[in-house]
């Protein structure tokens, strides 16, 4: 009877030891996975990729600086994180006290990058499971400027640019692309990567240029003005019309023979100047043909001369309306 009790007790003891060992293994597994310092990093990255800015901000325990918050949620946030690929979260490294550093390596547009997250132990849950949280910090910012515009597009989202500049609070890591795609003015896209809160990102500077549509519209109006001016000069039979071009001669030109034509139209160049858009001086060529009489000999000869001319204009754009006003001096 005593031997049977001993065997029973030994069985219970073995079972208890196995249960304790299993519990220890389970605790270690949990502490190395869902309760590890890497888990908040995984959850934070997931929030970025889903565009859940409020959740990401709560996980990161970050304060938002005095800056535009347009990049902190939704499409803009998803876009910044969408280019993160080949993610590898490394082992936690002690940083003194109850803090650890968790490295994350990844690629953006083929470039290998690394971000280090600082976390701290905030106690345990259910006595055994570790609790980790990001050390509170402030979000980084990125500066954007645009020439002669009060708006731009950042990560696919239209943003206001008072005075042509603005600062945006951003999550990290991420990539940000600024562009301007207007009907009359545009700027080539430019990108910057933010890999950490203490690593300043290069500013995004948009160099605005006139679009082909605007150049063609201005060129059309300039051509219309010159053609009308030449036609009026022929109708009025004037050597010195109210145009950018004229002809001076000591001879008498036979009335009814004067013909003006534009042989070379100006090339259009629209540039920013002191917060406005100006058309560069317009240079072209005009030809006059006629019959002329030498006042000394009375001889009649053909007149065929090409003249260079130059003039300036004022450009006014109001919504979809383009106005080009020639500025002539006589």
Q: State pLDDT tens for residues 129-167.
A: 789 999 999 999 999 999 999 999 999 999 999 999 999
pLDDT digit string (tens) for 260-283? 999 999 999 999 998 899 999 999
| pTM of model > 0.85 | no
Domain count for the chain: 2
**Residue 53 and residue 198 in one domain:** yes
Residue 18 domain-assigned (yes or no): no
Taking only the tens place, the pLDDT of each residue in 227-251 is 999 999 999 999 999 999 999 999 9
Across the range 38-60, mean pLDDT stands at 97
Q: Omega before 143 cis (within 30°)?
A: no
- Give 66-111 pLDDT, tens digit per residue: 999 999 999 999 999 999 999 999 999 999 889 999 999 999 999 9
The pLDDT value recorded for residue 124 is 77
SS (HEC) of 250-280: CCEECCCCCEEEEEECCCCCEEEECCEEEEC
Q: Do 63 and 116 lie in a common domain?
A: yes
Categorize the per-residue pLDDT at 12 as very low, low, confident or very high, splitting at 50, 70 and 90: low
Q: What are phi and psi of 115, to 5 degrees?
A: -125, 135
pLDDT tens sequence across 285-323: 999 999 999 988 889 999 999 999 999 999 999 888 999
Domain that holds residue 181: 32-206
CB 40 within 8 A of CB 134: yes
Does the residue 2 lie in any domain?
A: no
Each residue of 183-225: pLDDT tens digit?
999 999 999 999 998 877 889 999 999 999 999 999 999 999 9
Residue 125 has pLDDT above 90, yes or no: no
What distance in Å separates the CA atoms of residue 35 and residue 26, rounded to the nearest whole number? 12
Residue 176 and residue 66 share a domain = yes
111/181 same-domain check: yes
Of the residues 206, 231, 247, the one at which a domain ends: 206
> Is residue 11, in this structure, part of any structural domain at all?
no
Asked if the structure places residue 5 within a domain, the reply is no
Closest CA to 309 of 251, 232, 237, 247: 247
Residue 65 has pLDDT above 70, yes or no: yes
| Closest to 166 in 3D by CA, of 73, 69, 80, 79 | 69
Q: Looking at 186, 206, 226, which one is the last position of a domain?
A: 206
Residues 166 and 306 in one domain: no
Per-residue pLDDT for 41 more than 90? yes
In a domain, 16, yes or no: no
């Amino acid at each position: 009877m005593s031997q049977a009790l001993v065997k029973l007790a030994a069985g219970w003891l073995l079972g208890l030891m196995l249960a304790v060992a299993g519990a220890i293994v389970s605790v270690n597994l949990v502490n190395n996975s869902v309760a590890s310092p890497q888990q908040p990093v995984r959850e934070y990255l997931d929030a970025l990729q889903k565009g859940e800015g409020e959740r990401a901000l709560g996980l990161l325990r970050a304060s938002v600086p005095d800056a535009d918050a347009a990049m902190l949620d939704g499409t803009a946030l998803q876009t910044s994180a969408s280019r993160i690929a080949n993610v590898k979260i490394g082992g936690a490294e002690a940083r003194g006290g109850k803090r650890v550093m968790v490295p994350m390596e990844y690629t953006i547009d083929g470039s290998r990058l690394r971000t280090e997250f600082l976390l701290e132990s905030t106690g345990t849950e259910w006595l055994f499971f570790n609790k980790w949280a990001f050390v509170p910090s402030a979000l980084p910012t990125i500066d954007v400027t645009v020439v002669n515009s009060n708006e731009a597009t950042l990560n696919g989202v239209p943003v206001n640019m008072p005075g042509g500049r603005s600062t945006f609070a951003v999550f990290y890591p991420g990539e940000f692309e600024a562009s301007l795609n207007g009907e009359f003015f545009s700027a080539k896209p430019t990108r910057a990567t933010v890999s950490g809160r203490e690593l300043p990102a290069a500013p995004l500077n948009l160099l605005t240029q006139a679009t082909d549509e605007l150049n063609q519209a201005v060129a059309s109006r300039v051509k219309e003005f010159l053609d009308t001016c030449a036609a009026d000069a022929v109708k009025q039979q004037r050597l010195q019309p109210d145009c950018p071009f004229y002809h001076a001669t000591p001879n008498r030109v036979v009335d009814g023979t004067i013909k003006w034509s534009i042989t070379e139209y100006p090339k259009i160049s629209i540039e920013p100047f002191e917060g406005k858009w100006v058309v560069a001086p317009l240079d072209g060529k005009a030809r006059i043909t006629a019959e002329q009489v030498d006042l000394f000999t009375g001889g009649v000869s053909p007149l065929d001369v090409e003249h260079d001319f130059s003039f300036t204009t004022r450009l006014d754009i109001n919504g979809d309306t383009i106005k080009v006003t020639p500025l002539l001096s006589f």
